[in-house]
Amino acid sequence: MELIDGKAIAESLLQELEAEVKNHVTQGMPIPTIAFIRVGEDPASITYVRKKESIAARLGFKSRLKTFPEDVTEAALFACIDDLNKDTSVHGILIQAPLPNHLSEQKTFNRVSPKKDVDGFSSSNLGKLCQEDPHSFVACTPAGIVELLKQSNVTTAGKHIVILGRSLIVGKPAALIFMGKGSLGNATVTVCHSQTKDLASITQQADILIAAVGKPHLVTESMVKKGAIVIDVGMNRIEDSSTKRGYRLTGDVDFDRVAPRCSKITPAPGGVGPMTVAMLMKNTWKAYQLQTSS
Tell me the window of 90-98, 123-131, 209-217, 251-259 that interacts with ligand GUN (CB under 6 A). 90-98
Residue 97 sits in the site that holds ligand GUN (CB under 6 A): yes
- Cα(220)–Cα(257) distance, integer angstroms: 7
Nearer to ligand GUN, 35 or 187 (CB): 35
CA dihedral 99, 103, 109, 113 (to 10 degrees): -120
Closest CB 3 distance from ligand GUN, rounded Å: 23
Tell me the window of 14-22, 73-81, 95-103, 186-194 that interacts with ligand GUN (CB under 6 A). 95-103
Residue 119 annotated as catalytic:
yes
Residue list 262-281, contact with ligand GUN (CB under 6 A): 276
Q: What would the x/- binding string for ligand GUN be over residues 115 to 154, using CB under 6 A?
A: ----x--------------------xx-------------
Closest CB 277 distance from ligand GUN, rounded Å: 9
Name the residue among 146, 157, 258, 142 with its Cα closest to residue 200.
Answer: 258
Residue 95 sits in the site that holds ligand GUN (CB under 6 A): yes
Residue list 166-205, contact with ligand GUN (CB under 6 A): 169
Residue 215 annotated as catalytic:
no
- Catalytic annotation, pick one of 96, 207, 264, 282: 96
Nearer to ligand GUN, 174 or 223 (CB): 174
Closest CB 141 distance from ligand GUN, rounded Å: 5
Name the residue among 181, 115, 184 with its Cα closest to residue 146.
Answer: 184
Q: Who contacts 104 (Cβ-Cβ below 8 Å, separation ≥6)?
A: 74
Nearer to ligand GUN, 141 or 156 (CB): 141
Q: What would the x/- binding string for ligand GUN be over residues 39 to 78, using CB under 6 A?
A: ----------------------------------------
- Catalytic annotation, pick one of 117, 119, 232, 254: 119
Backbone angles phi, psi at 102, to 5 degrees: -75, -10
Applying CB under 6 A, which residues contact ligand GUN? 94-97, 119, 140-141, 169, 276
Active site residues: 52, 96, 119
